[in-house]
Amino acid sequence: MSGFAAIKGVSKALQDKLAKLGIAEPDDLLLHLPLRYVDETRITPIRDLRTGEAAQVEGEIIHAETQYRPRKALICQLQDASGDLLHLRFLHFYPSQVAALKPGTHIRAYGEPRPGFFGMEIVHPQCRPVRDNAPLNEALTPVYPTTAGLTQPNLRKLVDSALQHGDMRETLPPEMLEQLQLPGFAESLLFLHRPPPDASLESLQTHAHAAWRRLAFDELLAQQLSMRRHHARRRSQGAPALADKKTLTHVLLERLPFRLTAAQQKTWREISRDMSQPYPMQRLLQGDVGSGKTIVAALAALQAIENGWQAAIMAPTEILAEQHYKKMTDWLAPLGLNIAWLSGAQSKSVRNAMLEQVASGEAPLVVGTHALFQEQVQFAKLGLAVIDEQHRFGVHQRLALRRKGEQPHQLMMSATPIPRTLAMSYYADLDVSVIDELPPGRTPVTTKIVSEERREEVLARVRDACSRGRQAYWVCPLIEESEALQLKTALETCEQLTAALPDLRIGLVHGRMKPAEKQMVMQAFSANEVQLLVATTVIEVGVDVPNASLMVIEHAERMGLSQLHQLRGRVGRGSAQSVCILLYASPLSQAARERLKIIYENTDGFEIARADLNLRGPGEFLGIRQSGVPLLKIADLERDADLLEAARNTAAILLRDHPQVAEAHLKRWMRRAEEYVKV
């Protein structure tokens, strides 16, 4: 039962609203921190208002009218004691507001002034009627994240009660706080919820204040403790010890037309050793595009299979999953292994047959898209799960996957190195292997940066390459704002190219195609039935057609660095000299110029990823920002990188020397900690 049930005045309806905010217990209110603050401690004379600086003014409405052009608006004139005028403009308003703001009313209004048509104005100020000389607030007013039907005053009252009755005991030893130069827990909470009159708005808003840092630290510490606990729990949890029997793996290695690179051998040994342990592996295999991660995954799958267990390989797109399926079939079917294939595209009867093979164990290996883990796929004996291009799945899926009941050994693969801050936080429990060399015999790709004005020459190049038996990719401009427009552009590009290059067999793949259609085009391209493949960025990941030696990327200036690098990695996979042409439209922005320069000068994906991080910051990485639900609510990995470091050290010390402190700390933050690590 929720602790709120015992509190008078907290109805079931109110509890539901609080639950929406993640507040399940009265003490959760303590950690429900203000979004921002408003300064209602003073009145600013109208003549001192400054553009963009939020302020409170007080005066009398001397005129109010509803305008209809250019659009409907309620406009009030406010006059303060010195006789100056300010316009208040409301674009959405209710009749009740018109009544409350009628001439003669004395009000206080709060908002951000900006220059308007009639001089200074505030759009949508917060207004309230006041008596003359009504007392001002003594402190900054907190504004909390809230939900429909829960007002700020109500939330403030609830927080007040939590501040009086809640558990604000210190969890951390005083000497530790002193060393970290952080204030106490209770002190910090009081400060943030009820800032004293002299608190600076600036340091509260920017989270630079020590009180914010204390709470960010606490949150990061809880995350670290939780990650470590997860790591320890994983170790204590059983997983099948899959010994390196070398029965199947050696057969495959002997049959391969190539030798593993030293880096592949090293990472393979690390993975093989992990899998032979009686607790679940959680290892990330990092390696640049084309470094040969797939064969290492195949070997890992075989190690599971030679021990009588099943393996699953999951890829983020249909195209990529299909490629893996083909590769695994090439490599493993000759060993007498039956490989199941699961995709959203297949018919129900085929799918059911596949599911049956997976459930009965008849198929020791299954390849598919994420459908593989989401849906009701029953494995007879799953020993290893491989997740390719894992950064595509983002932190959320990674953590969701981990929640899935029994833990098989997990191998994740990625071409993108994890930024340091993320490696220290969300990925703190992962072991990492790196393939740091490319297979021999690759001819490095030559990159050319060409202005859109020289399109004719580029077309001639494509014609030439294809007439010599080579194949080419043409990547359509990326249009992030609209998928419909993206599709239209792809269709148009394909039409134009067909008109310009009538002798070539041209195919098109784009994101809106049905998986089966996509597969057909990709197969035709693999078989050289299609010579020029026009594509949207769906080909970004994992497509492998060694005969393709030319890539043209249109509007390369719009693309991100890692995207360009991944795209470029589609060529240079065979022995032919390969070229990647980055077409750009003038004028180039400074940022675009920088990006193109980096991609032109570098071929090493890790270098490029590092440069990318510098340009974009780690928050963009792994879809954290896009997901909309930041897992860390208070701390920010970029801003609080120093605290992250400190939290990591502190977690180690606490677990070693003060396990009961670690326990108390985790307990307080647990509901949130569970968000990061649903163990």
Q: Which residues bind ligand ADP (CB under 6 A)?
A: 258-261, 264, 287, 289-295, 415, 439, 544, 573
Question: Which of 357-361's residues contact partners 24+ apart within 8 Å by CB, and which partners?
Answer: 358/310, 361/310
Residue 408 interacts with, from ligand ADP, Mg ion, none (CB under 5-8 Å by kind): none
Residue 166 or 417: the one with the smaller Cβ distance to Mg ion is: 417
SS3 for 270?
A: helix
**Whole-angstrom distance, CA of residue 227 vs CA of residue 631:** 13
Distance set, CA 180 to CA 168, 218, 421, 644 (Å): 19, 12, 19, 12
Q: Which is nearer to Mg ion, 226 or 578 (CB)?
A: 578
Report how far residue 394's alpha carbon sits from residue 621's, in angstroms, rounded to the nearest whole number.
8
Choose the contact partner of 291 out of Mg ion, ligand ADP, none; CB within 5 to 8 A by kind.
ligand ADP
Closer CB to ligand ADP, residue 415 or residue 530?
Answer: 415
Q: Between 477 and 542, whose beta carbon lies closer to Mg ion?
A: 542
Q: Compare residues 195 and 316 and give the one whose CB is closer to Mg ion.
A: 316
- Nearer to ligand ADP by Cβ, of 264 and 486: the residue is 264
And the tokens for 454?
A: 């020289």
Kindly state the smallest distance separating residue 442's Cβ from ligand ADP, in Å.
Answer: 8
Residue 582 has φ and ψ, to the nearest 5°, of: -95, 105
Output the smallest distance, CB 294 to ligand ADP, in A. Answer: 3
Q: Compute the least distance from the CB of residue 302 to ligand ADP, in Å.
A: 15
Helix runs in 21-171, H state only: 95-100, 152-165
Residue with smaller CB distance to ligand ADP, 227 or 260: 260
Nearer to ligand ADP, 47 or 259 (CB): 259
Closer CB to ligand ADP, residue 289 or residue 539? 289
Q: Name the binder of 395 from ligand ADP, Mg ion, none, CB < 5-8 A by kind.
A: none
Q: State the number of CA atoms in the 13 A half-sphere of 218 facing the CB.
A: 32
What one-character-per-residue DSSP string does 481-513 give?
T-HHHHHHHHHHHHHHHHHH-TTS-EEEE-TTS
Asked whether position 605 contacts Mg ion by CB under 5 A, the answer is no
The mark string for 389-408 relative to Mg ion (x by CB under 5 A, - otherwise) is --------------------
Paired sense of beta strands 471-475 and 339-342, if any: unpaired
Peptide bond into 587 cis (omega under 30): yes
Helix 659-676 and helix 210-236, axial crossing angle in degrees, nearest 10: 90
Number of Cα atoms under 13 Å in the Cβ half of residue 432: 17
Residue 544 interacts, among Mg ion, ligand ADP, none and using kind-specific CB cut-offs from 5 to 8 Å, with ligand ADP
Residues 427 and 284: beta-carbon distance below 8 Å: yes
Residue (351 or 565) nearer to ligand ADP, CB: 565
Residues contacting residue 184 through CB under 8 Å, at least 6 positions apart: 170, 177, 214
Collect all residues with Cβ–Cβ distance below 8 Å to 588 and sequence separation of at least 6: 557, 596
In the complex, least distance from residue 258 CB atom to ligand ADP, rounded to whole angstroms: 3
* Beta-carbon contacts of residue 320 (< 8 Å; ≥ 6 apart): 388, 389, 541, 542, 543
- Name the minimum Å distance from CB 516 to Mg ion: 22
Residue 287 near Mg ion by CB under 5 A: no
Asked if residues 539 and 473 have their Cβ atoms less than 8 Å apart, the reply is: yes
Q: For ligand ADP, which is the closer residue by CB, 195 or 292?
A: 292
Rounded to a whole number of angstroms, the minimum distance from the CB of residue 384 to ligand ADP is 17
The piece of 163-171, 393-401, 536-544, 624-632 that touches Mg ion (CB under 5 A) is: 536-544
582, interface contact from ligand ADP, Mg ion, none, CB < 5-8 Å by kind? none
* Residue 188 binding result from Mg ion, ligand ADP, none, given CB thresholds of 5 to 8 Å by partner type: none
CB of 295 to ligand ADP, least distance (A): 5
CB of 248 to ligand ADP, least distance (A): 18
Question: What type of residue sits at position 260?
Answer: L
- Taking CB atoms, the residue at the shortest distance from Mg ion is 542
Query: Which range in 46-54, 326-334, 541-549, 647-655 contacts Mg ion by CB under 5 A?
Result: 541-549
**Nearest distance in Å: CB 535, ligand ADP:** 17
Find which of ligand ADP, Mg ion, none residue 269 binds, CB within 5 to 8 Å per kind.
none
Compare residues 291 and 563 and give the one whose CB is closer to ligand ADP.
291
Taking a C-beta distance cutoff of 8 angstroms, is the pair 415, 284 a contact? no
Total site size for Mg ion, rule CB under 5 A:
1
Nearer of residues 94 and 258 to ligand ADP, judged by Cβ: 258
Q: State the binding partner of 654 from ligand ADP, Mg ion, none, CB within 5 to 8 A by kind.
A: none
Taking the complex as a whole, the smallest distance from the CB of residue 171 to ligand ADP amounts, in Å, to: 45
Pick the closest to residue 436 from 272, 291, 269 (CA basis): 291
Choose the stretch contacting Mg ion; rule: CB under 5 A; options: 189-197, 204-212, 537-545, 566-574.
537-545
C-alpha span between 18 and 15 (Å, rounded)? 5
Cα 266 from Cα 305, distance rounded (Å): 21
Closest CB 621 distance from ligand ADP, rounded Å: 19
Residue 357: name its binding partner from ligand ADP, Mg ion, none (Cβ under 5 to 8 Å by kind). none
Q: How far is CA 625 from the centre of its chain?
A: 5
Side-chain-side CA neighbours of 175 within 13 Å: the count stands at 3
Q: Min. distance of Cβ 291 from ligand ADP in angstroms?
A: 4
Cβ-closest residue to ligand ADP?
292
- The smaller minimum CB distance to ligand ADP, of residues 207 and 293, is found at 293
Token look-up 């009965």 returns 360
* Residue 297 C-beta: closest distance to ligand ADP, Å: 8
Query: Rounded to the nearest whole angstrom, what is the least distance from the CB of residue 362 to Mg ion in the complex?
Result: 27
| Segment (H or E) for 605 | helix 605-616
542 binds Mg ion (CB under 5 A): yes
Query: Which does residue 419 bind out of Mg ion, ligand ADP, none, counting CB within 5 to 8 angstroms by kind?
Result: none
Cα gap 30→194, rounded to integer Å: 11
In this structure, the number of other CB atoms found within 10 A of the CB of residue 303 comes to: 27
* Burial class for 453, CB neighbours closer than 10 Å (0-12, 13-18, 19+): exposed
Binds 417, which of ligand ADP, Mg ion, none (CB < 5 to 8 A, cut-off by type)? none
DSSP H or E run through 565: helix 561-568
Q: Which is nearer to ligand ADP, 58 or 388 (CB)?
A: 388
Interacting partner of 261 out of ligand ADP, Mg ion, none (Cβ under 5 to 8 A depending on kind): ligand ADP
Which of ligand ADP, Mg ion, none is residue 439 near (CB under 5 to 8 Å by kind)?
ligand ADP
φ, ψ dihedrals at 428, nearest 5°: -60, -20
Q: What is the largest CA-CA distance in the chain?
A: 93
Per the CB < 8 A criterion, the answer to whether 547 and 378 are in contact is no
Give the nearest distance from C-beta 347 to ligand ADP in angstroms: 29
CB of 342 to ligand ADP, least distance (A): 20
Closest Cα to residue 24, out of 14, 35, 9? 14
548 phi/psi in degrees, rounded to 5: -80, 120
Residue 120 vs 386, nearer CB to ligand ADP: 386
Amino acid at 427: Y
Q: Which residues of the chain form contacts with Mg ion (CB under 5 A)? A: 542
